[in-house]
Amino acid sequence: MTIKLNVDGVPHSVDADPSTPLLWVLRDHLNLTGVKFGCGMALCGSCTVLMNGAAIRSCAMPLSAVGEREITTIQNDQDPIIGKLQKAWVDEDVSQCGYCQPGQIMSAAGLLKSNAKPSDEEIIAAMRGNICRCGAYNRIKSAIKKVVAEA
Amino acid sequence: MEVSRRDFLKTTALTGTAFVLGLYLPEKSRVTAAESTAKKLAPNAFVRIGEDNRITFLIGQAEMGQNTFTTLSMCIAEDLDADWEKTDIISAPVHPAYNHAWAPMQLTGGSSSIYTMQAEMRKAGASIRQMLMSAAARRWNTQISRIKTKDSMVLNPATGARLTYGDLIEDIANLEVPQNPKLKSPEAFKLIGKPVKRHPKEAWAKVRGEAEFGIDVRLENQKYAAMIHPPVFGATVKNFDGSKALQRQGVHRVKQTPFGIAVIADHWWQAKQALDDVRVVWNAGEFKQVSSESLRQQYRAMMEKPGASARKEGDTAKAFQQAAQILEADYEFPFLAHAPMEPLNCTVHDQGGKAGIWTGGQMQTVYRNACAEALGLEREAVTYHNTYLGGGFGRRAVPNMDFILDAVFAAKGEPWPVMTLWAREDDIRMGNYRPLRINKVRVALDQQGNITALESKLVGQSIMADTMFASFIQNDVDPFMVEGLATHHYDFQNNDIQVYRVKLPIVPLWWRSVGHTHTAPVVEGIIDEAAHAAGRDPVDYRLNLLTEKRMVDVLEDVARISGWKTRKKEQNVGYGVAVVESFKSFVAQVAKVRVSGNQFEVEKVWCSVDCGFAFNPLNVENQMMGGIHFGLGPVKFSALTVKDGMVEQSNFHDYKVVRMSDAPDVEVSILNSGEEPGGIGEPGTPPIIAAVANAIFDATGKRYRSQPIEMG
């Protein structure tokens, strides 16, 4: 079945079962491998993308439920907030293995789009859905705060 | 197994490099011409210089977050005087030139990459630099002593002449290889010992989602396999029927692998959905009766008899007879999964007569060889590509090669490349765990409250047994089981450490810091109990008994940075300390814990580390932070439990790991002692487990000896 999808400002037509999670459409149909698989149950946040600007777990979002809403991935190079976060991530030396970081950055982007000046508690509340097994949490926190301070 | 570096050079020549010469060959080096438009020089296994003056480092170690790519490249770049911003790092092919100093294979483990390889990397850089200087001196008809280098350039300060390294690649092709090149003096270091961030190319690729992990490998006409694994440990496939699954759209194959059943489809999600339509009949085996509780009973029964002796000195029995006080304690440690964020995967292309294999692995040579054997090929006919690892923690150095062999057998005889990708549930339930262990200890205290004897009975699986590393086991003792316990640094005079090895169908595996997550909580727990029994300060008590200066130094340092002596007594707040040597490094930590009802939060951790010399202090700090958060998981909640021969947990909802909301602030102090360098990937993990338990005692007066800590 062909389904239309709007990803990073580009319209796509995807031939996939409507129940396919958005994650697998992005990774395996559109080759956007920056979006990561981690748990398949919306427990770890590796697959986080934005849907109309809000952070969602793409592994638990069926393709059929996306409709015409705009999907933004880590591979979007036009979004200023994502760009600022990426730079802060590099400046703060956040990434270790780096696998979870696209999802971490997208959760942070979702937060900052709705709340430009989050408190420490608000940062933790928004980020606690994203697991980093390398334990880069202290650096993730400081990278987000760096972007907040510059806003 | 030693293969000459000449063989390596032949290999690179065949891959199309324009000029290849061997710096390490004792005789004069040779140039080999090959067809290529862009000229490139590969002076040794670790460096390539392009005529555009971009320098590429080839690193044979796995990059799994521990920053080995960056740190080893820093070592080469330092003595090569390379412009760091104009360098690239790539994963080296499988070749003996990249073998670990410890074994005839490429291996990333034991936190050993930097301290075993830094000297060779520096020499590799220095040799090339010296040759470049000789070549420039010849061109400018001057003395080499008048030549300087800077940022990938050779300079003649007297004339102002300059050449890039890339300008000189043909000139150095015929030069003698310096066998003992002069290394930079530490005062001249620009990179080594400095807080250098992760290499910019890697750092940017990782935040842009462009870094290639194993799961991101995309080959022409690639298919994907999902797996069904045994429900019970030790179960085997009796028969299976995949006919219904084959009727589903996109599904191409249903087949057996050594570890289960693979369904191959156009897309992974199709394969995963089709698993429901495969009917498998299992030979369940006897393990169906086993539970964590039955294992604990089995382990405890074994302690009734004497175990294998890992350390015996003095007269322990006499010390206990003469003791003024005896303390007994019992520690239990559950199975743990590594749960790296990138689910386990491997891609194999069986091309008939040759093959390709792609994965992020910590044992490239072993995986390559296993792939060759399974496909009936010569080893050299298999090309192994090591991608970035989405976390390792030991799980991707797996002697039974579960996820590798699943992939090799899934792809065997198929016309397409096949990526076999495990779901998170496969990873949590398939074994290769930090093993369940129980340790019963007793200490004897004299009138002054000092420990005069330690007796320990440790029961559990040996990780080395039944693997290619089994020869480490001597006199029935696996040294990795008792590391940190038999090798503790306290002057107890009498020691009696006994171990008991268990065999189970649940395969055990090293988990960040290996034996130390079992032993540090015991040694650093019981000594804390003894300090309390003696009415002494836990830091002073340890200092009085320590025999190793480096332990003393980190302990005193962490006491200083944490304000240990002047800490305030506050209701429901406790401070705990622990000091551990692991992987040749010394780490002391103080944890500050706040208790509320049956919950506790670790608010702050102070960490002092002596790894001899911090090649990259920023990374040492990152690894200490990460190691602490990794160790907090089993302290707080991570545990796997067995029931009816199966692990009860399956994903991150019931196998809980540390999240940002659990992560304390961490303050790291680095002592550059100048002693022998040690590792940094793992040593941050062991002390925290004990430090938190000791802090909870300080806050509540209750001892929690087993993991995870369940208060109440």
pLDDT at residue number B43? 76
Do A100 and A137 lie in one domain? The reply is: yes
Helix (H, G, I), strand (E, B) or coil at B55: strand
Q: Which residues pair with B442 in a beta bridge?
A: B328, B455
User: Chain-wide mean pLDDT for chain B?
Assistant: 93
Say yes or no for a CB contact (<8 Å) between A29 and B209.
no
User: Which CATH number do you get for residue A15?
Assistant: 3.10.20.30
pLDDT at residue number B35? 34
Q: Nearest CA to CA, how far is B288 from chain A (Å)?
A: 27
Task: Count CA atoms within 13 Å of residue A16 on its CB side.
Answer: 27
Domains and CATH numbers, chain B: 5-207 (3.30.365.10), 214-285+344-421 (3.30.365.10), 292-336+432-700 (3.30.365.10)
Say yes or no for a CB contact (<8 Å) between B209 and A127.
no
Q: Which residue of A has its CA nearest to B392?
A: A97
Structure tokens at A11: 């319209």
Q: What angle do CA B441, B444, B448 make, to 5 degrees?
A: 140
Q: What is the mean pLDDT of residues B70-97?
A: 97
Instruction: Point out the domain boundary residue: A72, A102, A119.
Output: A72
CA distance B512 to B108: 12
Q: Nearest CA to CA, how far is B106 from chain A (Å)?
A: 19
Among A43, A94, A134, whose Cβ lies nearest the Cβ of B653?
A43
The answer, yes or no, to whether residue B32 has pLDDT greater than 70, is no
Q: Nearest CA to CA, how far is B19 from chain A (Å)?
A: 34
Size of interface A-B (CB pairs under 8 A): 179
pLDDT at residue number B21? 29
Say yes or no for a CB contact (<8 Å) between A135 and B629.
yes
The answer, yes or no, to whether residue B312 has pLDDT greater than 90, is yes
Do A86 and A127 lie in one domain? The reply is: yes
Do A23 and A39 lie in one domain? The reply is: yes
Q: Nearest CA to CA, how far is A99 from chain B (Å)?
A: 5
Q: How far is CA B408 from CA A91, B106, B327, B386, B401, in A?
A: 40, 20, 53, 15, 10
Say yes or no for a CB contact (<8 Å) between B66 and A96.
yes
Residue corresponding to tokens 């350039």: B153
pLDDT at residue number B26? 25
User: Which residues, including other chains, have CB under 8 Å from residue B48's CB and lie 6 or more apart?
Assistant: B17, B40, B41, B42, B55, B56, B58
DSSP letters, B315-373, are -HHHHHHT-SEEEEEEEEE-BB----SS--EEEEEE-SS-EEEEE--S-HHHHHHHHHH
Q: At B285, is the pLDDT very low, low, confident or very high (cuts 50, 70, 90)?
A: confident
Instruction: Point out the domain boundary residue: A22, A48, A72.
Output: A72
Q: Nearest CA to CA, how far is B37 from chain A (Å)?
A: 31
User: Which CATH number do you get for residue A106?
Assistant: 1.10.150.120
pLDDT at residue number A47? 98
Which of A104-113, B26-35, B191-200, B531-540 shows the lowest mean pLDDT across its residues? B26-35
The model's pLDDT over B585-615, given as tens digits with 9 standing for 90+, comes to: 999 999 999 999 999 999 999 999 999 999 9
CA distance B657 to A128: 11
Q: How are beta strands B599-610 and B153-156 bridged, if at all?
A: unpaired
Beta carbons of B126 and B184 less than 8 angstroms apart? yes
Say yes or no for a CB contact (<8 Å) between A41 and B651.
yes
Q: Which residue of B has its CA nearest to A49?
A: B209
DSSP letters, B298-316, are HHHHHTTS--EEEEEES-H
CA distance A145 to B131: 48
Beta carbons of B242 and B254 less than 8 angstroms apart? yes
Chosen for mutation from A28, A87, A90, A97 (greatest number of chain B CBs closer than 10 Å) is A97
Beta carbons of B486 and B310 less than 8 angstroms apart? yes
Q: Nearest CA to CA, how far is B115 from chain A (Å)?
A: 19
Q: Nearest CA to CA, how far is A107 from chain B (Å)?
A: 13
Instruction: Point out the domain boundary residue: A19, A49, A72.
Output: A72
Chosen for mutation from A27, A137, A142, A144 (greatest number of chain B CBs closer than 10 Å) is A137
Range of the domain at A58: 2-72
Do A68 and A9 lie in one domain? The reply is: yes
Q: What angle do CA A135, A137, A143 make, to 5 degrees?
A: 135
Do A57 and A92 lie in one domain? The reply is: no
Q: Nearest CA to CA, how far is A16 from chain B (Å)?
A: 10
For chain B, helix (H) and strand (E) counts, in that order, are 16, 29
Beta carbons of B382 and B352 less than 8 angstroms apart? no
CA B283 to chain centre: 35
How many angstroms separate the first and last alpha carbons of chain B? 57
Do A95 and A131 lie in one domain? The reply is: yes
Closest CA to A36 of A68, A74, A91, A86: A74
Among B215, B651, B661, whose Cβ lies nearest the Cβ of A37?
B215
pLDDT at residue number B38? 64
ipTM over the 0.90 cut-off = yes
Say yes or no for a CB contact (<8 Å) between A39 and B424.
yes
The answer, yes or no, to whether residue B286 has pLDDT greater than 90, is no
CA dihedral (B118, B464, B430, B222) in degrees, to 10, reads 50
Among A43, A75, A96, whose Cβ lies nearest the Cβ of B65?
A96
Helix (H, G, I), strand (E, B) or coil at B691: helix
Residue corresponding to tokens 């949490």: A137
User: Chain-wide mean pLDDT for chain A?
Assistant: 97
Q: Nearest CA to CA, how far is A68 from chain B (Å)?
A: 23
Q: How are beta strands B40-44 and B19-20 bridged, if at all?
A: parallel
Closest CA to B686 of B554, B514, B559, B540: B514
Say yes or no for a CB contact (<8 Å) between B653 and A41.
yes
Say yes or no for a CB contact (<8 Å) between B658 and A135.
yes
Do A97 and A133 lie in one domain? The reply is: yes
User: Which residues, including other chains, have CB under 8 Å from residue B276's CB and lie 6 or more apart?
Assistant: none
Say yes or no for a CB contact (<8 Å) between A98 and B249.
no
Among B66, B67, B652, whose Cβ lies nearest the Cβ of A43?
B652
Chosen for mutation from A49, A131, A133, A142 (greatest number of chain B CBs closer than 10 Å) is A133
Say yes or no for a CB contact (<8 Å) between B65 and A21.
no
Q: What is the mean pLDDT of residues B302-326?
A: 98
Q: What angle do CA B290, B291, B297 make, to 5 degrees?
A: 95
Do A29 and A67 lie in one domain? The reply is: yes
Do A88 and A138 lie in one domain? The reply is: yes
Say yes or no for a CB contact (<8 Å) between A28 and B216.
no
Query: Based on the structure, what is the number of domains in chain A?
Result: 2
Task: Please report how the helices B617-636 and A137-150 are oriented relative to each other, as an axis angle in degrees rounded to 10.
Answer: 120
pLDDT at residue number B56? 96
Say yes or no for a CB contact (<8 Å) between B207 and A141.
no
CA dihedral (B522, B527, B530, B535) in degrees, to 10, reads -140
Say yes or no for a CB contact (<8 Å) between A97 and B391.
yes
The model's pLDDT over A41-91, given as tens digits with 9 standing for 90+, comes to: 999 999 999 999 999 999 999 999 999 999 999 999 999 999 999 999 999
Do A66 and A87 lie in one domain? The reply is: no
Do A61 and A89 lie in one domain? The reply is: no
Q: What is the mean pLDDT of residues B223-240?
A: 96
Q: Which residue of A has its CA nearest to B631?
A: A135
Residues of chain B with C-beta less than 8 angstroms from the C-beta of A31: 218
Dihedral (CA of B267, B409, B344, B339) sign: positive
Do A41 and A58 lie in one domain? The reply is: yes
pTM score: 0.95
Among B198, B659, B661, whose Cβ lies nearest the Cβ of A93?
B198
Q: How are beta strands B148-150 and B87-91 bridged, if at all?
A: unpaired
The model's pLDDT over B104-129, given as tens digits with 9 standing for 90+, comes to: 999 999 999 999 999 999 999 999 99
Say yes or no for a CB contact (<8 Å) between A75 and B210.
yes
Task: Choose between B632 and B101: higher pLDDT.
Answer: B632
Say yes or no for a CB contact (<8 Å) between B625 and A139.
yes
The answer, yes or no, to whether residue B343 has pLDDT greater than 60, is yes
Q: What is the mean pLDDT of residues B335-356?
A: 98
Q: At B31, is the pLDDT very low, low, confident or very high (cuts 50, 70, 90)?
A: very low
